[in-house]
């Protein structure tokens, strides 16, 4: 009985799972992620643990944003010192910020400066940066922060 | 000629592109993009800094009663109009201040005149500052929530806010706005939050 069954199955063509449509599915997922991906272009050298807040707004237009990171340096000889990073470079002279921001504002008049400040930083450095931004006339800012607690459903 | 072609095709197995390896390639790419993807929208508290004053220019005058001064020091102690308060009380104090409509002589004359000013010490932690700023914004958010729900402006002679329909909350109203559409609630009931000039240390 058992051998008969076995023989019958071996005699017919081998059942095969069609993999032809698998690439289609995978490609669809791939295209989704390719479109949604933003490759991290800057190497952040300072720690920025963002504060939490409730009254948040979203910035949909990513191209308007220019990020300013403020926080303790992660590694290197000055590790732990609070530093400012714009784009890829740490800012040595804080008075240079106005020039950098002024140049950015010329390129993008609707510039939004997103301040990514570590929650343990002191206000003196934030105030200094804000004064520099005022000098450059880059007045639209955003205090980057995360939502409190679990995200709403 | 056609006969010859037909013959050849019938002789051989049908040629096909091997698609088995295709999935592997696609998976590899997929995994790469999965790992590198960050689908995060930037969120934060938006502010507009005051424009820089010319050396001979004085800041615009604000009547004492219209100004609510919030001061925070390094220990997280809060002073509201020179009185001790806690961070949790700021929201209610701010709402009372804004929605006073001239009733209490020490609070604001009208919401349009009301200004809330936040001042921090040099050593105040950033998180404390954000907590305070968040509370002040939430005071306005709660007022806006009410406008969104009722489509009426607060106050004794509260007229219509001019919305097309009511919404369950301000956030819901905000989320359904198109990118070029004006935020009517903020147009009719603006928020005046100012970041005080830091002490120059002299």
Nearest alpha-carbon partner for A82 in A132, A141, A123: A123
pLDDT of A150 reads 57
Among the partner-chain residues A30, A65, A126, the one whose CB lies closest to the CB of B29 is A30
Contacts of A152 in chain B (CB under 8 A): none
Least CB-CB distance to B47: which of A51, A122, A143?
Answer: A143
pLDDT digits (tens, 9 = 90+) for B59-111: 777 788 888 888 888 888 888 888 888 888 888 888 888 888 878 887 888 88
In a domain, A47, yes or no: no
- A7 and chain B: CB distance < 8 Å anywhere? no
Check CB contact of B35 with chain A, cutoff 8 Å.
no
Residues A127 and A90 in one domain: yes
The answer on A75 and A6 residing in a single domain is no
Helical spans, DSSP H, in B12-82: 20-36
Residue B26 has, within 13 A of its CA and on its CB side, a CA count of: 19
Instruction: Give ∠ CA A128-A129-A131 in degrees, rounded to 5.
Output: 65
Tell me the CATH number at A109: 3.30.420.270
For residues A10 and A74, state if they share a domain: no
Residue A87, domain extent: 52-147
3.30.420.270, 3.40.50.300, 3.30.428.10, 3.40.1550.10: CATH of B64-195: 3.30.420.270
HSE at residue B147, side-chain half, CA atoms within 13 A, is 29
In a mutational test of the B interface, the residue from A57, A112, A123, A139 whose CB has the highest number of chain B CBs within 10 Å is: A123
Burial of B47 (0-12, 13-18, 19+ CB in 10 A): middle
Task: Indicate whether A56 and A32 sit together in one domain.
Answer: no
Are A17 and A79 found together in one domain?
no
A41 in any annotated domain: no
Helices marked H in B56-154? 90-98, 126-150
Q: Is residue A28 one of the residues assigned to a domain?
A: yes
pLDDT given at position B87:
85
d(CA A10, CA B34) in angstroms, rounded, equals: 42
- The reply to whether A29 and A68 lie within a common domain is no
**Are residues A77 and A106 both part of a single domain?**
yes
pLDDT of res. A91: 84
Residue-level pLDDT at A12: 62
pLDDT 10s digit of each residue in chain A, 153 long? 444 555 555 556 777 777 778 778 888 888 888 887 776 667 788 888 888 888 888 887 778 888 899 989 887 777 778 888 888 888 888 888 888 898 989 998 889 999 999 988 888 888 888 888 988 888 889 999 888 765 444
Distance CA A54, CA B138 (A): 7
Q: Which of residues 49-88 of B touch A (CB under 8 A)?
A: 49-52, 74
The alpha carbon of B181 is separated from its chain's Cα centroid by a whole number of angstroms, namely 16
Which element (helix H / strand E) includes B197?
none
Provide the pLDDT for residue A40.
64
Residue A97 domain flag = yes
Structural domains of chain A, count: 2
Q: Are residues A113 and A75 in the same domain?
A: yes
Give the residues of chain B that fall short of pLDDT 70: 1-12, 38-40, 199-202
Per domain, the residue ranges of chain B are: 64-195
pLDDT of residue A153: 40
pTM: 0.75
Residue located via tokens 């510039």: A111
Question: Which chain A residues have a beta carbon less than 8 Å from that of B87?
Answer: none
User: Do A97 and A58 fall within a single domain?
Assistant: yes
């Amino acid at each position: 009985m058992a051998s008969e069954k076995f023989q019958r199955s071996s005699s017919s063509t081998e059942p095969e799972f069609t993999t032809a449509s698998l690439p289609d599915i995978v490609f669809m997922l791939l295209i989704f992620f390719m479109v949604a991906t933003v490759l991290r272009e800057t190497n952040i050298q300072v720690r920025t643990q963002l504060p939490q807040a409730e009254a948040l707004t979203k910035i949909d237009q990513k191209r308007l944003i220019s990020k300013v990171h403020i926080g303790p340096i992660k590694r290197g000889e000055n590790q732990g010192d609070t530093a400012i990073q714009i784009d890829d470079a740490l800012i040595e002279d804080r008075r240079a910020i106005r020039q950098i921001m002024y140049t950015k504002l010329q390129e993008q008049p609707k510039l939004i400066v997103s301040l990514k400040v570590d929650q343990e930083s002191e206000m003196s450095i934030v105030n200094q940066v804000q004064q520099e931004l005022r000098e450059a006339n880059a007045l639209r800012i955003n205090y980057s922060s995360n939502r409190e607690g679990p995200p709403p459903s | 000629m056609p006969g010859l072609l037909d013959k050849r095709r019938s002789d051989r197995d049908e040629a096909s592109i091997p698609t088995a390896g295709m999935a592997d390639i696609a998976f590899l790419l997929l995994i790469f993009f999965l790992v590198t993807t960050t689908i995060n929208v930037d969120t934060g508290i938006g502010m507009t800094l005051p424009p820089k004053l010319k050396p001979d220019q004085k800041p615009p005058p604000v009547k004492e009663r219209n100004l609510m001064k919030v001061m925070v020091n390094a220990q997280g102690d809060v002073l509201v109009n020179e009185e001790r308060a806690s961070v949790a009380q700021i929201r209610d104090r701010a709402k009372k201040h804004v929605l006073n409509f001239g009733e209490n002589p020490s609070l604001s004359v009208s919401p349009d005149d009301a200004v809330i000013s936040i001042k921090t010490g040099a050593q105040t932690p950033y998180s404390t500052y954000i907590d305070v700023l968040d509370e002040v914004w939430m005071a306005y958010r709660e007022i806006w929530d009410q406008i969104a729900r009722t489509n009426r402006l607060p106050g004794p002679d509260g007229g219509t806010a001019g919305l097309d329909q009511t919404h369950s909350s301000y956030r819901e109203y905000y989320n359904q706005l198109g990118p070029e559409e004006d935020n009517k609630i903020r147009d009719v009931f603006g928020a005046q939050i100012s970041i005080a000039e830091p002490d120059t240390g002299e």
